[in-house]
Amino acid sequence: MFDRVLPNRQRERLSGRALAFIIVVLVHLLLAGVLLLLTPDKPQPHNNDTPNVFILLPDPTPQRQRKPAPKARPPASKALTRTPVPPPKKPEPPAKPVVFGDLAYNAFDIAKIPSAAPASTADAGVGADSDAAAGVGTGPGGVTLYKAEWQREPTHAELSFYMPKGLPDDSWGMIACKTVARNLVEDCQPLDDWPHGSGIARGLVNAAWQFKVRPPRINGKPEIGSWVRIRIDFSSKAPKDD
């Protein structure tokens, strides 16, 4: 039909144009394909609609078996283990007795305890050292007990805290102590008391940490570390002041 309508020359033109158009289209398609291959893949967007899943595991210990934590108990009162503190000291004249109810005590002059040593031994030494050099008996472990004297007699406040109640008239207690520095004593032990088993000697042992006793002097030197004997009498008749 075209052969009849169009001359040969025009047919050639149309065929050339159609071929060129087809080539251009193919080139564009080829370029588009190359661009698609060179373009990197876009990251897949995170789907925010996906819910987060949390798995709650049951407590291995049943709730009914769980016990509340015990409350911290307050520390035990330290007053139970604290060393008893004696009342404040009340200075009193040495000559006056200290009254326990209807009883009074006289601090027995331990320097006047009769010596158990022979007279020849008692005469040894010079001056005041002669009495101190003589023992008055034996103490714990067979140690020699020496005479001594008070540097300061104990007060009512120092003794009353440790003495048993209801002491009978003419009761007494006797202890042995080791002298240490500063005219103090330590390692005291009960020797005897009256009435026996009354606890007076034990009370004196507990109160002895307050005692001020001069150690015996031998050849002019204090024998610190030696043992002395202390006796305290209790009486209802207080001596009169001079």
In this prediction, residue 152 carries a pLDDT of 93
Higher per-residue confidence, 84 vs 190: 190
Among residues 171, 229, 175, the alpha carbon closest in space to that of 203 is found at 175
Beta bridge partners of 231: 174
One DSSP character per residue, 69-128 reads PPPPPPPPPGGGTSPPPPPPP----TTS-EEETTEEEEE--GGGSPP-S-HHHHT-SSTT
pLDDT digits (tens, 9 = 90+) for 109-136: 444 444 333 333 333 333 455 355 567 7
pLDDT at 227 over 70: yes
How do the domains of the chain map onto residue ranges? 2-37, 98-235
| Tens digits of residue pLDDT in 6-40 | 566 676 777 888 888 899 999 999 998 888 888 76
Instruction: Determine the pLDDT at residue 64.
Output: 60
The larger pLDDT score, comparing residue 38 to residue 224, is at 224
**Type of residue found at 239:** P
Separation of alpha carbons 38 and 127, rounded Å:
128
What distances in angstroms separate CA 160 from CA 41, 52, 171, 193, 197, one per listed residue?
103, 81, 14, 16, 18
pTM of the model: 0.48
Predicted pLDDT at 199? 93
| Continuous segment of H or E residues that includes residue 67 | none
